[in-house]
Structure 1
């Protein structure tokens, strides 16, 4: 087994999938709260945290690894890059997915003429800077996730501390993750999804524009959309009660 994971609580299963460059420790407080009523599995993506690196970081190879850690259907909550993983899991391994939550995430991260995503050159810049100063590049990326929030300084320190709890991913793994963000388009997977799906977005997210929610709803009219007021890209850190309320509403609506 190359995937490291931690389990909290008992009950209906949830799998939490972190974002680019992070590890499962980012979920700790959030997972402990969810675990009051559910079984929460926090995974380290391949090459992140305590999980072993794999030869090539692709959605297919990542999902194959993750499919080994659960033996029943679960709600997969994917944050940022983790949302792409959750969507891909639903298509590749439907036997372990009961529902999908795209948390500050979307099926296509790069903007184009008909999609309000991130500018492609922003991801290119991160890719270029990784080889120059990996840690500083990661810290700049993390600061973007909470930019403009009143608790910026406090959250920035927390993100940096969590990042340093474990070994840094290698540049190879980080570049692989960026390639997934840049090249993946799962809009057709979202349209074809046969399990309940929710998108939970931060109103002030600078990486995933809040307007992308309605664009996702056009693709999948059954999408359960929640916009968390005044939240940025990491609402499970900055707006935990509001996010949990949105999750409960989604689960009850199913």
Structure 2
């Protein structure tokens, strides 16, 4: 079911399906709830699955010229409160993971678990911040130029032909985004703080899924994070940043097992 609510005078779009314990799926940069269609269908056999278009993405509107991870997390909380949800599992792909981490810092007693799906607690390096500033300048001139280059590069090189149709679909979806939404997300990611402490001191159990050929998050850094005490499950795939496509079954199996294990305990 597809629905909207108003937050800060802005429409926020979300979908829900299934019954049971709640799983909230948060998409990444240049993505939307559409990326989760397959996973939501599978997970809804056991759970109530909520997918949210984060501000400036999909069918949700923009708040301003910077969408901080905290503002996006507050938007997730507004949707959850509207649905009268008390506690829930959170799964965030890439930027969605940054939002889930901000949520975990703001509301540490709410998440039953957080899965960082090709995402990290580390902040942007100084070099990455420069890259984001360059991307913002490109977007101001031609958002299509950024979209056409960025999305294919998230896949392992040999995956780009294999998943040509999926890449084309993601590019088409990203082209619907307003320039303001793209820039606001880039600015928000650039300013996010280090949240490594959550993996050591938080009451929240974590799962981390990473890819050996991920061009965004070096596997060496991810392996460091996987050794943190609150990381209770982990998966390293052979592919890139888009495990939900490149390693669909393996990632879904790991995610499902992790959530089931938390539910049992």
TM-score by length of 2: 0.84
Structure 1: any 5+ residue segments left out of the alignment? Answer: 113-117
Q: For 1:202-228, what per-residue CA distance to the aligned partner results, in whole angstroms no more than 9, with x for missing partners?
A: 12111111122232245x323135233
Indicate whether 1:85 and 2:93 are aligned.
Answer: no
Q: 1:45-194, aligned counterparts within 5 Å?
A: 45-55=54-64, 56-70=66-80, 71-111=85-125, 119-148=128-157, 150-165=158-173, 168-184=176-192, 185-194=194-203
- Partner of 2:219, secondary structure, is coil
- 8 Å Cα contact 1:139-1:160 kept in structure 2: no
- Partner of 1:22, secondary structure, is coil
- 8 Å Cα contact 1:78-1:101 kept in structure 2: yes
Q: Give, in whole Å, the separation in 2 of the partners of 1:14 and 1:251.
A: 9
Partner of 1:209: 218
Q: Give, in whole Å, the separation in 2 of the partners of 1:39 and 1:158.
A: 26
Partner of 2:242: 234
- 8 Å Cα contact 2:115-2:208 kept in structure 1: yes
- Partner of 1:67, secondary structure, is helix
Moved more, 75-84 or 226-235: 226-235
Q: 1:156 to 1:122 in 2, by over 3 A?
A: farther
- 8 Å Cα contact 1:17-1:83 kept in structure 2: yes
- Partner of 2:249, secondary structure, is helix
Segments ≥4 residues shifted beyond 6 Å = none
Partner of 2:3: none
Q: 1:200 to 1:181 in 2, by over 3 A?
A: same
- 8 Å Cα contact 1:57-1:176 kept in structure 2: yes
Q: Paired residues, what number?
A: 247
- 8 Å Cα contact 2:24-2:50 kept in structure 1: yes
- Partner of 1:62, secondary structure, is helix
Q: Give, in whole Å, the separation in 1 of the partners of 2:18 and 2:204.
A: 24
Q: Give, in whole Å, the separation in 2 of the partners of 1:135 and 1:43.
A: 24
Q: For 1:99-158, what per-residue CA distance to the aligned partner results, in whole angstroms no more than 9, with x for missing partners?
A: 10000000125247xxxxx7444333322211121022012111111032x331242431
Q: Give, in whole Å, the separation in 2 of the partners of 1:214 and 1:251.
A: 21
TM-score by length of 1: 0.88
